Each structure stands twice: as structure tokens, then as C-alpha cells.
Amino acid sequence: MLKGKSALITGSTSGIGAAIARALAGAGANVTLNGFGEKGEIEALRAGIAKEHKVEVAYSPADMTRPDEIAAMIAEAEKRFGALDVLVNNAGIQHVAPVEEFSVEKWNAVIAINLSSAFHATRAAVPGMKARKWGRIINIASAHGLVASVQKAAYVASKHGVIGLTKVVALEAANTGITCNAICPGWVLTPLVEQQIVARAAASHKTIDEEKLALLSEKQPMHAFTKPDSIGGLAVFLCSDAAATITGASLPIDGGWTAT
């Protein structure tokens, strides 16, 4: 479906981003990975996706807090592949603290990476997409882009902002061949969440399975984690012809979290 097209996924060296990169490569797209991590592990991921799906896979170490590096990353992808057709803004970080104890430094970092980086990447990618009359922009928001939780001021604010940005870009690009949508995951069993569960189990002296259920039950009616591959599948669908008129949408994939 995406054979011959080019996709760039920010924050894609692990977790949800890596799953989306694999899914888009599986649909035939050449891929640019981005993110931090151990050099050997990133190269193994890059080479593995290229070999499995027989596509070209590049890697950019661009820092998502630096607008100049983001713009250069977009330009490099366009130069290397001749176009950038699919942009997935996935890079994100989290920090938890009561609002009166939330450090200014942490606030600025979360907003920069979770929200501002999506703006800078979109701003750089849209002109080429408009010139080619085709583009897909997918922002990875969160259930926290639709509802709030305590002690997550910056994360919730950033994800609500991502959804607002998604709507504006969708309206501006409505008749250009470009769509812009947000995916809003609930609990996803990534390595980061697994570490959180292990820490909870150690503190509570309960089993891992008990703490998994406890974590899910706090927010989701459905006691099941969303799989990263499922988010990748949804991203591929949003790139398909069947989704050509889906734009400006915020699509929960959250086990019913935001239905309550």
C-alpha cells in the first residue's frame, strides 16, 4: 500500500514508535527512524527492519528539543528518499509531580518534546506534501489528550495541545491531499510501563500480575493493555485510501478509558 513512499517516525528507537516504524515498513514504506539509545541497539533495529521488510531504513539522531535539527532531519529525509509522505510525531517524555512542585525545567522539557517538536516537524514537512498533493501526518497523543490525571500537568497539557494542533493542521490542509489525525493510546505495555509495574509490585509486595490488573483498573474498563503493534496497525490504516477523508480526528485506542 505504501510502496515507494517515505515515512519518518520521531521517537522510534523503542516502544510505540518502533512498532509504528515496523508497521509502515511492512506496508512498503521506506523509513527514517529517530530517537536516542545505545548505538548498537539502534543499528540492529534499523538493519532488522530493512532486512525483514526489504525497504530502505535510515536513522536520524536529531534532538527533538532543537527546531534546527528537526528541520534538518525533515530535509534529509526528503533528499534521501525524494519525498516525505508520512510523518508520525511520536517523541514524548513524562514527568510526575504535583503542580506546585513541578519544576520549570521539567515543564519546559515535556512541552518541547511532546508538543513543540510536533509543530516544528509538521511545519517543515507540510510544504513538500502540499507540492505533491499527498501526505499523512499522524500525531501520537494519548488518552491524556482527552482527559486528565493528577500530577501530570505538563504531559496532559502537551497532549491536549497535540490534539489542538492536529485539528488546526487538518483544517488548513483539508483540500490539499493531506490528512492529519491523532492516535490516543491508553495503557500500552512498553518497557517503560513494565518498569513501572515492577516498581509498584516491589513497593506493594504484590505479584506482577496483581499490579498489572491494579494499574489497568485505575483507568480502563477493559483490563487489557494495548499492544504497540495495534497502534502500528492503526497508523497504517490512517495512511490508506479507506481513511482518505478521516482528518482532524482523535482516535482512542484505550480499552474504554475515555468512554467513562
Helix (H) or strand (E) holding 131: helix 117-132
Which residues, other chains included, contact 114 with Cβ-Cβ below 8 Å and sequence gap of 6+? Answer: 91, 92, 93, 154, 155, 158, 159, 161, 162
Other CB atoms within 10 A of residue 16 CB: 27
Residue position matching grid coordinates 483507568: 219
Q: Which of 62, 67, 165 is nearest to 112 (CA)?
A: 67
- Nearest-10 Cα torsion for 158, 160, 166, 168: -100
Q: What is the largest CA-CA distance in the chain?
A: 58
* Parallel, antiparallel or unpaired: strands 178-185 and 57-60: unpaired
Residue type, 239: C
The CA-based angle 25-31-35, given to 5 degrees, is: 115
Which 8-state DSSP code applies to residue 100? G
Contact 91, 162 (CB under 8 A): no
3-state secondary structure of 32: strand
The CA-based angle 163-6-175, given to 5 degrees, is: 50
* Separation of alpha carbons 156 and 143, rounded Å: 9
Catalytic residue among 81, 155, 187, 257: 155
Is-catalytic flag, 155? yes
Catalytic positions, written as ranges: 155
